[in-house]
Amino acid sequence: MTDIDRRDFIKRTSAAGLGALAVSRGIAPALLTRRSPNETVRVAVIGVNGRGVVHAQNFAKLANSEVAYICDVDSNVVAKGLDAAKSQAQAPRTTGDFRRILDDKTVDALSMATPDHWHAPMTLLALHAGKHVYLEKPSGHDPHEDELLVQAARKYDRPPLHVQLGRQARSGPHFLEALQQVRDGTIGRAYLARCWYANTRKGIGHGKVVPVPANLDYELWQGPAPRTPYRDNVIHYNWHWFTRWGTGEICNNGTHEIDVARWFLGVDYPTSVSSVGHRFHESDDWEFPDTQDATFEFGSDGSKVIAWHGQSCNGLQMFNRSRGTLVLGTDGSMIIDRDGYVFSDLKGKVTKQSVASQATDGLNTVGDDALTELHMKNFLDAIRTGAKLNAPIADGAKTGLLCHLGTIAQQTGRMLRIDPKTGHILHDAEATKRWTRRYQPGWAPTV
């Protein structure tokens, strides 16, 4: 195609169509062999208004890594990504359309910090095009998308295309140390994990339909989501609280602590899920509960339980922490967060602890911390040397499913019975309808 034809094609084609094109043109086999440990991994960072800035910053400074592109549908925020990558010798290229990157065989990986509704479709397109993926949570917008990602991970396993989910606790040394102690029986038999997040978010008001800002490609921002007029209270952050694009606090922040809980209890799919909550603090456009208690039971006898407590608009801390995970065992307990852990006996006496001298800000939406750098290094090592991923999508999607089931239980207002072998909802047609979403025609993701 000529340059003009190519630009017109990229502009008009759907995401699904371009994915099919990538496969038909043989892009997928672009990475046929494992890379040498000395080679540089070239990464395109997609979405740089918030968390993506940390992606650009880390991939620019980590050894054997280079930011090849900065991409965002908002031309006003591209400069943030460029500034974050200034530590590297060569400035990244820029584009407003990530699909232009898929055809560039010099790009090895995509690093995504986009809105939730783009996570699975963009990951699938990247895999079609032969790219590795570093993906921020949640893995998918709904359970169906999580399943698609797991299927794709299997499909592109030989030669391996890696998908690392952004659950950076999995790469944290103190998390690994505490996990080993729990597995060694330090607190006896672990049976319950209680996790929480407490913030003081403001209301989002009632949005007004206004013209799309000249700096924003709103058509591409919507992507696979059904079309709706642009409103002034959605972009850039408040989309989290709309079901069309976001997944609520349980998938936004709860996913981190719920993942730690599932990891430490050693569980996969539950047998039942229930949830209570409401939008208590405002009367506005927010479509998820701002306060939620979701309970997940595991085993035929409910012998293990995860309890998630979300406070989006009341910052009262639990155990002097804005977020964290408590694991109860028959001989004691453990509390862990991003700053360390504390083990106690049954009477609450501290038996062992490892806590950072200075606490980090657990409510920072950008999340620039040492755990992220370690997690991204693990991703690069997997690409370059075949190291094992700490948070592969096949496992991470199980946590994503828990969060989605918590939302479905909340929306239906009743306990869900779950097949512990597959994670699927049993004997509830109404709840099962929420397993997937409605897509904009022509944009449905495929493996």
34 plus 126 within the same structural domain: yes
Residue 20 banded pLDDT, cuts 50, 70, 90: very low
287 plus 422 within the same structural domain: yes
CB–CB of 68/93 below 8 Å? yes
pLDDT at res. 120: 98
190 plus 139 within the same structural domain: no
Taking residues 94-108, report their average pLDDT: 97
Query: Does residue 64 form part of some domain?
Result: yes
Query: Does residue 445 form part of some domain?
Result: no
Domain of 82, in residue numbers: 3-169
Query: Does residue 116 form part of some domain?
Result: yes
pLDDT tens-digit readout, 201-239? 999 999 999 999 999 999 999 999 999 999 999 999 999
In our burial notation (b when 16+ CB lie closer than 10 A, e otherwise), range 310-338 reads: bbbbeeeebeebbbbbbbbbeebbbbbbb
Query: 264: domain CATH number?
Result: 3.30.360.10
Pair of tokens at residue 181: 């102690």
Total structural domains within the chain:
2
58 plus 98 within the same structural domain: yes
194 plus 152 within the same structural domain: no
Pair of tokens at residue 252: 């936004």
260 plus 271 within the same structural domain: yes
Query: Does residue 70 form part of some domain?
Result: yes
Query: Does residue 213 form part of some domain?
Result: no
Residues with Cβ within 8 Å of residue 19, at least 6 apart in sequence: 124, 125, 128, 129, 445, 446
Query: Does residue 157 form part of some domain?
Result: yes
The span from the CA of 139 to the CA of 164, in Å, is: 10
**Is the pLDDT assigned to residue 14 strictly greater than 80?**
no
Residue 32 banded pLDDT, cuts 50, 70, 90: very low
Query: 46: domain CATH number?
Result: 3.40.50.720
Taking residues 68-77, report their average pLDDT: 98
79 plus 99 within the same structural domain: yes
Taking residues 292-308, report their average pLDDT: 96
Backbone angles phi, psi at 446, to 5 degrees: -135, 155
229 plus 161 within the same structural domain: no
How distant, in Å, are the alpha carbons of 120, 155, 388, 411 from that of 143?
11, 19, 25, 15
pLDDT at res. 358: 73
Determine whether 42 is exposed, middle or buried from the number of CB atoms within 10 Å of its CB (0-12, 13-18, 19+).
Answer: middle
Residues with Cβ within 8 Å of residue 72, at least 6 apart in sequence: 46, 47, 48, 49, 52, 78, 81, 96
189 plus 123 within the same structural domain: no
Q: What is the mean pLDDT of the chain?
A: 92
231 plus 364 within the same structural domain: yes
Q: What is the 3-state composition of the chain as percent helix, strand, coil, each rounded to the nearest 5?
A: 35, 20, 45
Query: Does residue 443 form part of some domain?
Result: no
**β pairing state of 163-165 and 132-135:** parallel
Query: Does residue 241 form part of some domain?
Result: yes
195 plus 332 within the same structural domain: yes
427 Rama sector, left if φ>0, alpha if ψ -120 to 50, beta otherwise: left
How much of the chain exceeds pLDDT 70, in percent? 90
114 plus 150 within the same structural domain: yes
The span from the CA of 119 to the CA of 316, in Å, is: 31
- Boundary of a domain, candidates 121, 148, 169: 169
CA geometry: angle at 217 spanning 211 and 218, to 5°? 55
Taking residues 309-327, report their average pLDDT: 97
> Which DSSP helix (H) or strand (E) runs through 379?
helix 370-385
DSSP string, 45-97: EE--SSHHHHHHHHHHHSTTEEEEEEE-SBTTTHHHHHHHTTTSSSPPEEES-
